[in-house]
Chains A and B, each alone.
Chain A
Amino acid sequence: MSVRSPNWVPYLQVAPLSLVFLVFLVVPILTIVVVSFFDYDSTRLLPDFVLTNYEELLSSSITWRTYGQTLEFALITWICTLLIGFTVAYFLAFHVRSTAWQTVLFLVCTIPFWTSNIIRMISWIPFLGRNGVLNTALQGAGVIDRPLEFLLFSDFAVVLAYVHLYTLFMVVPIFNSMMRIDRSLIEAAHDAGASGRQILWNVIIPLCKPGIAIGSIFVVTIVMGDFVTVRLMSGGQSASVGLMMINAMSLLQYPAAAANAVVLLILVLMTVALMIRVVDIRREL
């Protein structure tokens, strides 16, 4: 870098950011770790160093089942958002040739984002319900003779809502990667006689890996920590790790929730560590 200024300047510039992360990220997470070893009674935290919270958590089959369920949601959502997100990004990057159009189409995709997540979620309910828009339409068209029950208050509904809420998180980084691909590479592959499919598979997808990784990190981590969507869309019929924590907290069992939080955190960090090996995020932006 070639800008001459005193050595202490970057430290000053980065100080506010570091301070926020210290106070509102590092310290709270450390608090959670500390509290997870506390004991508790029906209302109070009892500072202590006990492992009972972890024992209770890890020895229970419910915990494993819930984690399994959460990971399953994350995986299915990841596959769906990846396929849809990649296709949409591909269309925007390679088939829409003017920047103005790209911008307009992008904005069209982002507008629903401005409505509160909660309102957007509850709006699925009249759409998918037993007497909802979709069932009424399908019955009207004679496609089905009785309403489809699985559309709402089911795992299907949960995944649908996730895909609806988070696909855009996949589109943006993948699109960004695609726009950075040197178009002459594709021309060269074309001239060398590669088919469209081969170009996609051997040129575009490898070069999009960073974008895919960034999008995946977003989608997977958000789904793993979610509790609102699962509760609303499954009608309380499915559980997730976040919901388990919320339930524990609502009964003031903070240390139990904290232990669960620590386990979830470790899992999330491991998942992300796996993904991050594919990509150097700083270089890729």
Chain B
Amino acid sequence: MRDGRRRPLSFYLLAGFFGLFVLFLYGPTSTIVLLSFQGPSGGLTFPMNGVSLHWFGNLFERQMVGDFAGSLQRSMLLGIVTMLVTVAVSFAAGLAFRKRFRGATLVFYLAIASLIVPSILISLGIGLLFRVLEWDPAWYSSAFGAHLSWTLPFGLLIMFAVFNRFSPSYEEAARDLGASPWQTIRHVVLPIVLPSLIGVGLFGFTLSYDEFARSLYTSGTFNTLPLEIYGMTTNVTTPVLYALGTVTTGVSFLVIALSLAAFVVIRRRRARFGSDAGRGV
């Protein structure tokens, strides 16, 4: 914000609007946070019943119904695998799309279709498909595929955005210096697009971790976390769900703060020592 000019009035109006927008985003979240600090007889609605940390402790105990731990584990595992696969597959596809190949337009439109077809249809379709084939759906097979159909288009679009701004001269230089195509990718392309790949990964994880509709008919015997939360709402009337929300939000803050810190540190280091591309970081 070190800018010599005086800010126009519109800046303050817009800043105010932005502030309201943030308030609007956080309004319900703050409701959750408040309600999760209720006493042991608390419910899901106002008025509040006492103040305590009871429900945060309760979060780590076993509920009467449902299984936070198991479903959280499944969602985490699924999220991580989805994340890794999304990063690898989008990166490879992004590289492919820099060249011309037959069917490129078709694949691209498939990606767009995958984004716009309502999730519930994908869920229904995969469920029906498994049913017709008499296969058993499971969270690590059919649900995994359903999640990929949601995360990959995002990954691909981000890769497009990255490679649209990517100058091929670096690779030419590398090739002129005698690097093999693989070395070029490994030591030139990858380091440059790494931040975006991390973005794709984070995106992939979040989308998968939160996905409800696409897991609905595809998860088989065991629930993922969103399904478990939904199943638990059929019997759990305590603020423990809010405690989960509060903890999740807290953890997100932490993760984002750490990423930012890491980012700043890396930038400073790079500024001091020059790029570390090619050192195999």
Contact = CB atoms under 8 A, between A and B. Distances in A.
Contacts of A123: 28-29, 31-32, 242, 245
B242 A16 contact: no
B83 interface: no
A217 interface: yes
A126 B45 CA distance: 5
Given A1-B98, A114-B206, A126-B45, A31 B132 contact: yes
Interface stretch (B50-58, B59-67, B224-232, B272-280): B224-232
Counting contact residues on chain B (CB < 8 A from A), the size range is: 35 or more
Interface in B14-30: 14-15, 17-18, 21-22, 24-29
Interface in B144-162: 145-146, 148-149, 152, 156-158, 160-161
B172 A116 contact: no
B112 A13 contact: no
A265 B252 CA distance: 35
A150 to B, nearest CB: 18
A148 interface: no
Contacts of A126: 31, 35, 44-46
Contacts of B212: 117-118, 228
Contacts of A27: 125, 129
A interface, over-half SS: helix
B126 interface: yes
Contacts of B2: 98
A47 to B, nearest CB: 9
A84 B131 CA distance: 43
Interface residues of A, number: 96
Contacts of A131: 45-47
28 contacts: A3-B175, A3-B184, A17-B89, A17-B92, A17-B156, A24-B122, A24-B145, A24-B148, A25-B122, A32-B124, A32-B128, A97-B3, A101-B1, A103-B260, A109-B21, A115-B32, A115-B248, A118-B226, A118-B233, A126-B44, A217-B115, A218-B115, A227-B213, A228-B212, A228-B213, A242-B120, A245-B120, A245-B124
Given A115-B245, A126-B45, A221-B115, 20 more contacts: A1-B100, A3-B168, A10-B96, A18-B110, A24-B122, A35-B132, A88-B18, A95-B14, A97-B1, A98-B1, A108-B22, A114-B206, A114-B251, A117-B226, A118-B226, A120-B29, A132-B46, A167-B21, A228-B212, A228-B213
Interface of A: 1-5, 9-14, 16-18, 20-21, 23-29, 31-32, 35, 45, 84, 87-88, 90-92, 95, 97-98, 101, 103-105, 107-120, 122-127, 129, 131-133, 136, 164, 167, 176, 196, 217-218, 221-222, 224-228, 242, 245-246, 249, 254, 257-258, 261, 264-265, 268-269, 272, 276, 281-283, 285
